[in-house]
Copies of this chain bind each other. A is one copy, B any other.
Amino acid sequence: MAQRRELMTGSTASLLLCLIGYQPMYGYQIIKELERRSQGYFRFKEGTLYPALHRLERAGLIQGKWQVMPSGQQRKYYHLTEKGLSILVEKRSQWQDFLTAMNLIIQPAST
């Protein structure tokens, strides 16, 4: 919550790839979904999300497509590319490694 900013760097890309991996999503939806699924913990700012999405797209991990709603509203849906999927798999295992290492320090069993 308050202190989240610090732990955020580096987790952002994983979170976005993960969500978009479930199903194609648009930016605003991602913000809401992240908040819902994390039970209110993640509250991405637009100034964080949109640049992050653009970075992922430039890197070829996701691809965005504009869609016009019946109402006339425009949304940019992002879906995972093949490369994005393989990076997602990689990032999941990196998260596990990081988690393991952190717990060795943060929750000490002994000396």
Given contacts A38-B105, A105-B19, A105-B38, contact A94 B10 (CB under 8 A): no
Is A7 within 8 A of B94, CB to CB? yes
Which partner residue on chain B sits nearest A4 by CB separation? Answer: B98
Q: Is A31 an interface residue (CB 8 A)?
A: no
Is B22 within 8 A of A13, CB to CB? no
Which of B39, B97, B100, B102 has a CB less than 8 Å from the CB of A95?
B102
Which partner residue on chain B sits nearest A9 by CB separation? Answer: B9
Interface magnitude class on chain A = 35 or more
Is B6 within 8 A of A10, CB to CB? yes
- Interface residues in A36-91 (C-beta closer than 8 Å to B): 37-39, 41-42, 90-91
Which of B7, B34, B97 has a CB less than 8 Å from the CB of A11?
B7
